[in-house]
Amino acid sequence: MPYEQVFIGDIDASPVTLTDSKTIYPENRQGTLAKIIALPPGTSADGIFYFSVNGEYYERVIEGVYRACWANIIAGSDMTTLIQTVINDARVKTLLFDDPGGVSIIVNGTLSIPAGKVIAFANGNTLTGTGTVTVNGLVDAGPYKIFDGSLTVGSINAANTPLYPEWWGAVGNGTTDDSGAFNKLFQSCNKARGITISLRGVTYLINQEVTVPPLTAGTNIIRFEGNSTTLKTTSAITILKRMPANNATAKSDINNTTIQVDGIIFEGSSLAGQNALVIAATYNSVVSNCKFHSFDIGLDLQFCLNATVEQCNGHSNLTYSFTARTGTWSNVILGETQSNNTVFKQCRDYCNSGQTSGFYILNSDSVKLETCICEGANPITNIHFEVQTGVTTVQYFTVDNLHGENVPTGEHISIKGAAPFVRIISPFIQNNTNTYYPFLVTAKAAPNNGNGTIQIENLNYWAVNLKCKNEANSGTRWVFEVSPVLSQFKNETWFNEIFESTPPYVIPASGSRFVRGSDNYFSEISSEIQLNAKGSINFTGSGNFTNSKALYQNGSIIMGGNQFQLLQFAIPGQYIQFQGPQNPVINYAMFISNSVFKIRREGASIVDAIVIASSGKLGLNNANPAVGLDIGWTDALGLPAGTTAQRPTGAARYFRYNTETNTIEWYNGAAWVSPNIAGQEVSTNIRTVTANTTVGSSDSTLLVNSSAGNISITIDPVNAAKKIFYIKKISADPNTVTITPSSGTIDGAPSLAINTQWQTVQVQSNGTDLFIL
C-alpha cells in the first residue's frame, strides 16, 4: 500500500493547496524527509515535492539524485522544457531516466545540460525526437542505446566519461553496419577536451568511413579502449580516419591532438583502397596491441611526431602494413609534415605475396624499428626507407634487432633518396639458399644523391649468400661493425671481395659469420669500381701485415693530416704499437707476455697503465696486482655517485656515494647502510607541510601545519625500511594529522591520529609495517 502522497505544483500560502498529487511506494523513496513547519503567505515554491504523513507535511530532500518520473517526465509529448527546468534546479545534481519498462522521452526543442550536472540512463530508456541536446556536464550510461531517432546530440563534454558507440545505436553483431553510430559519436564530441571511446570486445561492421574530427577545446587526447574489439569492413573504405583538410589545418591541429588506440583488431577483405587506420597531424600518439589484417594499407601515420607503435601485427596486407610518412592532404608541404621520431617496437608483419613493403618510411627523420619481425610470404621488400627530392631535414633511420624469415623478391631493407645515416643493428636474416639469394640492404639510385652512410653492426647471423647491393649513383658509404679480432686483417678475408666487377655489384658473404676490426668503413665512387682500388693504408713492421689494404680506420687512422705516424704489428694478435702525431716521443703499446695482458705508455719512463695478471687480478698503475683490483695511484678513488632514487637493485658488496645524504653507503645484503662515525655531526632533512603529503626517501622530520584542514601523511613501509621519521603537529587547531602506511599497519592499526599541538610521533619501518617508537 502506498503510504506517502507526492504533491507536484505551485505553492502559495499553504502546502495543503498542492495540486497534481501522486502516490509513491516505499521502493521509490530516495533521500531524507524534512518536516515543514510553516510557509509564509505568498511564498512560491515551484517544483518542490511534499509528502503528507499523518496530517503533517514534509519536504523530500533528494540529495542530488532525481528520477525523471517524479517530475512527470514521461513518454508521449515533448519534455524539453520540463527536463530543462528540473536539471537547472540547484538541488538536482543527477537526472535519472530509469523507467523499469524502458521509455523514449521526446525532446523536440533545444536542451542544454549544465556543467556539473549528470544525465543518467538505465538500459532501455532513451531520448528521442527532432531537437538538439548539448551536454556540458556528463552522461552516465552503460554500453546500450540512449539517443534515438533523428535527435541531434550537438556536443558532449566527455573528458571524464567513457563514450560507447552503443549510445547512438551500434549493435556489434558483425552484420549490421555500425558506421552511422560511430560517426554520430564523433560528431557529438567535436568540442570535447579529451575523450575516451570504450569498445566492448564485439565485432562492429564498418562499411562507411568513420571520421575523427579535430577537437576544438585546447589540448586533447582521444583514447580508444579496444578490449579485443574487431572493426570489420567489406567495402573499399578507411575504417577509422583522422585527416586534416589542408596544410594549415594540419599544422594547427598537431599541437593539440594525441590519439591512443589499444587492443583493436582491424579486419579487411583485401580490396584496393581499403585501409584500416589513418592517423594524421598528432603529437605523441600511441597505437598498441592492434592487428591489421587483409587491407591495402594497415596503419598509416601521416605527420605524426614522436608516435609509438608497439606490439602490433600486420597480416596479409596488399601494399603496406605500417607507414610513417609525410601528409597526403591538399597543398601538403613535404618538409613541414614529417612523422619524425616515430618508433615501431616489437611489431610483426606477416607479409602477403607480392606486398610492396611491410614497413614504409617516407621523408621522416629519426624513425626507429626496434625488435620487429618480418615473415610470411615473399614481399618486394620488408622495409623501405625513402627521402624524396626537396626534403633536406632527414638525418637518421635505425633498424635494431630485425628478425627476417621470408625471402623478398627485392631486399629485406631498401634505402632510397638523399641517404641519411642509416644504422642496421643485429639483423637476424634467414634464407632458403636452394631457391633465392636476397639482398640484406639495397642502396637505391636517387635523383638527389645524398652521399650518406649505411652502417651494419653486430652481424651475429648472416644467411649463406645473403648480399648487400649498391645501385649505380647511390653515393653511399658502407660501414660494417663487428667484434675486433686482429687476425682477420689478412689477404684472404672478405675485405678484398667487397664489390664484384660485374653487375649486380654485390657485397658477397664468404661464410655464415664474420668478425673484423671495429670502426672501419668502405667508400666508393661508383659501384663499378672495386672498393680496394680506392686509396690504401700500409701496415708496416713485422708479421703478416705487409699488404696494402683499401681500409680507412675511422677515429684512429684516417687518410690525411690526422693519421698516426706509426702503426706496427708484431706477431698477429700479440703486439700492437702506435704513435700519435702530437708527441712522437711517446708511444703506446698493448701486448700479451707470459699470459699477462698490458697496456703500456712508453716515453721518458715506462708506465704499465693497465695490467691483467695470469691470475685474473687487475692492476691500475700497478704492474703486479696482489688483489682483485690493485690501484697504484696516490691521489683518490672516485666512487659512483647519485641520489637515493638512483640506487641500483641492491646486491651485497655494492658501494657508492649518496649525493642526497652526502655519505658513503653500501648494501649489506638487506638494506643500504652508511657508516656511523663517532663525533661526526649528523644533519637530517626537515620541512614544513600544509597539505596531504607522502614521505620521501630524503625526509627525516616533518613539521605539519594543519590550520587549513585535516592532513594525511602517507609512509611506504617497503621503501622506508629501517628508516626513522619524526612527525610533529605545530599548529594550534582542532584539525587532525593522520599517519597512514601505504601498506601494512602502524602499531597494528590502519592509521594513527595526532590532534594536539606540539605532539610528536617517532615512526620506524621494518620493511612491512610501521612502529611507533
Q: Which run of H or of E encompasses 249?
A: helix 247-253
Please give the average per-residue pLDDT across 254-258, as a whole number. 87
Q: Are 763 and 769 in contact (CB under 8 A)?
A: no
Q: Between these two residues, 458 and 168, which has the higher pLDDT value?
A: 168
What is the model's pLDDT at position 216?
Answer: 62
pLDDT value of position 52: 52
Q: What mean pLDDT is predicted for residues 303-309?
A: 97
Instruction: Centre a 10 Å sphere on the Cβ of residue 562 and count the other Cβ atoms it contains.
Output: 11
Q: What is the pLDDT of residue 401?
A: 92
Q: Averaged over 257-274, what is the pLDDT?
A: 96
Q: Using omega within 30 degrees of 0 as the cis cutoff, is the peptide bond preceding 504 cis?
A: yes
The more confident residue out of 280 and 16 is 280
Handedness of CA 87, 89, 93, 99 (dihedral sign): negative
The predicted model gives 559-588 an average pLDDT of 43
Q: What is residue 295's three-state secondary structure?
A: coil
Using CA atoms, how far apart are residues 447 and 450, in angstroms rounded to an integer?
A: 9
Interatomic CA distance for residues 495 and 534, integer angstroms: 13
pLDDT at 562 over 50: no
**Stretch 304-329: mean pLDDT:** 97
> What is the number of helices (H) and of strands (E) in the chain?
3, 70
Q: What is the average per-residue pLDDT within 681-685?
A: 68
Q: CA–CA distance from 505 to each of 230, 496, 762 (Å)?
A: 47, 14, 78
Maximum mean pLDDT: which of 241-255, 267-281, 433-447? 267-281
Q: Which residue has the higher pLDDT, 468 or 619?
A: 619
Instruction: Give 95's contacts (C-beta < 8 A, 6+ positions apart).
Output: 66, 68, 83, 86, 87, 117, 118, 119, 120
CA distance 492 to 512: 16
Share of residues in the chain with pLDDT > 70 (%): 68
SS3 102: coil
3-state secondary structure at position 560: coil
Comparing CA positions, the residue from 378, 362, 457, 464 lying closest to residue 414 is: 362
The pLDDT value recorded for residue 473 is 54
Query: Contact 320/345 with Cβ under 8 angstroms?
Result: no
pLDDT (0 to 100) of residue 54:
54
Give the pLDDT score at 57. Answer: 55
How many whole angstroms separate alpha carbon 582 and alpha carbon 410?
49
Residue 451 has pLDDT above 80, yes or no: no
Between residues 462 and 610, which one has the greater pLDDT? 610
Position 410 confidence tier, pLDDT thresholds 50, 70, 90: confident
**Residue 523 identity:** S
Question: Is residue 138's pLDDT more than 90?
Answer: no
Give the separation between CA 143 and CA 121, rounded to whole angstroms. 11
The C-alpha angle with vertex 115 and arms to 113 and 118, in degrees rounded to 5, equals 60
**Domain boundaries, given as residue ranges, for the chain:** 4-61, 587-631, 641-673, 686-772
pLDDT in the model for residue 7? 43
In angstroms, the CA 48 to CA 62 distance is 10
CA Rg value for the chain: 37
Q: Which of the two residues, 213 and 746, has the higher pLDDT score?
A: 746
pLDDT single digits (tens) 602-618: 565 667 778 888 888 88
Write down the pLDDT at residue 411: 85
Cβ distance 588 to 598 under 8 Å?
no
* pLDDT for 193: 67
Q: Which amino acid is at 211?
A: T
What pLDDT is stored for residue 29 in this prediction?
44
In sequence order, the 6+-apart residues with CB closer than 8 A to the CB of 74 are 68, 103, 105
Residue 571, pLDDT above cutoff 50: no
Average pLDDT in the 170-195 region? 88
Q: How confident is the model at residue 190 (pLDDT cuts 50, 70, 90)?
A: low
Q: 465 pLDDT exceeds 60? A: no
H helices within 54-208, ranges in order?
A: 80-88, 179-188
Q: What is the spatial distance between Cα 489 and Cα 495, in angstroms, rounded to a whole number?
A: 8
Angle at the Cα of 30 (from 26 to 33), degrees rounded to 5?
Answer: 90
CA distance readout (Å), 477 to 412, 450, 522: 19, 10, 6
Give pLDDT, residue 173.
97
Span of 129-143, 665-679, 714-728 with lowest mean pLDDT: 665-679
Cell of 213: 574530427
| Percentage with pLDDT > 90 across the chain | 41
Q: What angle do CA 600, 605, 609 make, to 5 degrees?
A: 30
Per-residue pLDDT reduced to its tens digit, 15-32 = 443 444 444 333 344 455
pLDDT band at 58 (very low <50, low <70, confident <90, very high): low
- Residue 434 has a pLDDT of 45
> Is the confidence at residue 635, as pLDDT, over 70?
yes
Residue 251 φ then ψ, to 5°: -70, -25
Helix (H) or strand (E) holding 84: helix 80-88
* Of 286 and 661, the one with more pLDDT: 286
User: How does residue 33 score in pLDDT terms, banded at 50, 70 and 90?
Assistant: low
* CA–CA distance, 140 with 123 (Å, rounded to integer): 11
Give 34's pLDDT tier (boundaries 50, 70, 90). Answer: low
Residue with the three cell numbers 579486419: 267
Statement: residue 239 has pLDDT above 50: yes
pLDDT digits (tens, 9 = 90+) for 645-682: 888 887 777 888 888 888 888 887 777 877 755 445 55
Contact between residue 301 and residue 275 where contact means Cβ atoms under 8 Å apart: no
The pLDDT of residue 440 is 73
Fold entry, domain 686-772: Jelly Rolls (2.60.120)
Say whether pLDDT at 255 is over 80. yes
Give the three cell numbers for residue 198.
570504450
Q: Which of 89-98, 297-306, 687-696, 757-766 has the lowest mean pLDDT?
A: 89-98
| pLDDT confidence of residue 22 | 41
At residue 595, does pLDDT exceed 80?
Answer: no
Angle at 288 between CA 259 and CA 648, to 5 degrees: 105
Rounded Cα distance between 349 and 320, Å, is 9
